[in-house]
Structure 1
Amino acid sequence: MYETLEIVREGAVATLWMNRPEVHNAFNARLIAELDAACRALEEDEGVRLLVLAGRGKSFSAGADLNWMKAAGQASPADNLADARKLTGMLRTLAELRKPTLARVQGAALGGGMGLAAACDICIAGESAMFATSEVRLGIIPAAISPYVIRAIGERQASRYFLSAERLPAVQAARLGLVHEVVEDAALDARVAEITAALLQGGPKAQAAAKALIRAVARRAVDEAVAEDSACRIAELRTTPEAQEGLAAFLAKRPPSWVSKGGAGE
């Protein structure tokens, strides 16, 4: 169904492979549109509990296809802006999925590729992975990816790397907070499988609520409004059938239904 993507399903885990290895999975209009459509479809698929984002070939994603970027810059102002909005929309779709998302990163994750990694909830990288916000060397800026990269590494680090476009080895990217864990390249798939198995132990509705909670409280002072919102969230959630099942299963020393059903949600 897709020209630039391949979706592999293993139980409740969907791996969304960017499949333009000949250009290191660089973005063009087609890839952006298909990533957005695939994320939306997987969000609505009740059989999918979590999404792994990956890239075929040597690289995760080398960022924007320069021919596409040049053509967009030469289009009319209205068409240029519409094109940019599709990119920001796709990144937002990925970042705001209710289901857990995990970036499996090998090789280059440059520009938009680094943005995809930052937009996912979890990023696991092979030791050879390399990250950069390289846009200024092309006379542009990392505007579309900036909310997610700055959220991951902070304003102070962005002040350096947005301006210098230096390349970040995976270990350095982990120190900055972009990457959660670095493993040997040969162990990347095994580690991703271990983390997806851990994610499938959580209640699907609880995980969606946890993602919403993070967005609600991040970078806010702990004032009366935040405290009240937090109280309302837990009070509401623990009355749900999923919470009642989870608590009952723990007390009975048995797996909850979403685990005993092979990871599928209720």
Structure 2
Amino acid sequence: MSNNQNGSVSLTIADDGLATISFYHPAQNSLPSALLKELAEMITFAGIDHKTKVILLKSEGDRTFCAGASFDELLQIKDKQAGAEFFSGFANVINACRKSPKIIIARVQGKTVGGGVGLAAAADYCLATEAAFVKLSELAIGIGPFVISPAVTRKIGLPAFSQLTIRATDFQTAQWAKEKGLYNEVYSDIPNMDEAILLLTQKLCAYHPDALTGLKQILWEGTEDWDELLLERAAISGELVLSEFTQEALKGFLKK
């Protein structure tokens, strides 16, 4: 595992055309704005690289896939513009996944919270372990999952999204996430999941690339307005994070 205390994002492209994008941050793979920017850029690059056939999105470690936004950075936001710019980082990652011409497979090895759920939802196909519980905790800290809501609702539907959002302090199981459509496959442990990912990506890399691109377009039909929509949602979150309620809630979470 990387020992970079600022976190990192890496990209490797194998001979068979599998592009693996991996992110890491010591705070449970949370995502500050710098990592969000790198992640969006690497997803975009892998999508247009002629060697890439399929993209695998993963994080390092074996406990948490992604803890969502960086609370430390959220506390540093002092004005609406800075807030909108921070949350637009998640918007840019989701839109990079949406607009990539390559199929994106997500590997979710552990718990995923907030924006991490949005990352899983932005993938085209998602494999997870039984430890990959999910939670949208935004209401508990005075904001809402506004930026990621189009991606999550598209996958699991409005009733399940409502449950996940309103039950802001409760984790839902990986099996729940599979039943609702966020995860496509759930495995007992990481080795079994990785074996399934290897077999799946090998098959996909052998398929006709134009057929995969055509499938990608079909999967994302009706989302053409997301460039504007997600940035509008980012502005809402960026304003709410400035509230006294949210600032105190964030401090409380960091003290735990």
TM category (shorter chain) comes to 0.7 to 0.9
Contact 1:119 1:148 in 2 (8 A): yes
SS in 2 for 1:71: coil
Q: Deviations over 1:131-165 (max 9, x none)?
A: 11111111110111111110111011111111112
The residue number in structure 1 matching 2:53 is 49
- Structure 2: which amino acid aligns with 1:146? S
Q: Which moved more, 1:200-209 or 1:58-67?
A: 200-209
Distance in 2 between the 1:87 and 1:114 partners?
11
The residue number in structure 2 matching 1:65 is 70
The residue number in structure 1 matching 2:184 is 180
Match among 132, 135, 139 for residue 132 of structure 1: 135
- Structure 1: which amino acid aligns with 2:174? A
Q: How much has 1:90 moved relative to structure 2?
A: 1.9
The residue number in structure 1 matching 2:144 is 141
Q: How much has 1:129 moved relative to structure 2?
A: 1.1
Contact 2:7 2:23 in 1 (8 A): no
Distance in 2 between the 1:65 and 1:78 partners?
17
SS in 2 for 1:200: helix
Distance in 2 between the 1:39 and 1:211 partners?
14
SS in 1 for 2:10: strand
> Following superposition of structure 1 onto structure 2, how do residues 1-266 of structure 1 map, counting pairs within 5 Å?
4-11=8-15, 12-20=17-25, 22-57=26-61, 58-72=63-77, 75-165=78-168, 166-185=170-189, 186-216=191-221
- Structure 1: which amino acid aligns with 2:79? S
Q: How much has 1:188 moved relative to structure 2?
A: 1.4
Distance in 2 between the 1:27 and 1:83 partners?
10
Q: CA distance change for structure 1 residues 95 and 215 in 2, over 3 Å: closer, same or farther?
A: closer
Rg: which structure is higher? 1
Distance in 2 between the 1:130 and 1:3 partners?
23
Count of paired positions: 214
Q: CA distance change for structure 1 residues 19 and 216 in 2, over 3 Å: closer, same or farther?
A: closer
Distance in 2 between the 1:191 and 1:157 partners?
27
Q: Which stretches in structure 2 are left out of the alignment for 5+ residues?
A: 1-5, 224-256
- Relative contact order (C-alpha < 8 Å, sep 6+): which is higher? 2
The residue number in structure 2 matching 1:252 is none
Q: Deviations over 1:232-251 (max 9, x none)?
A: xxxxxxxxxxxxxxxxxxxx
Distance in 1 between the 2:207 and 2:184 partners?
19
Q: CA distance change for structure 1 residues 5 and 217 in 2, over 3 Å: closer, same or farther?
A: closer
Q: How much has 1:217 moved relative to structure 2?
A: 6.8
| RMSD of aligned residue pairs (Cα, Å) | 1.7
Q: How much has 1:172 moved relative to structure 2?
A: 1.1
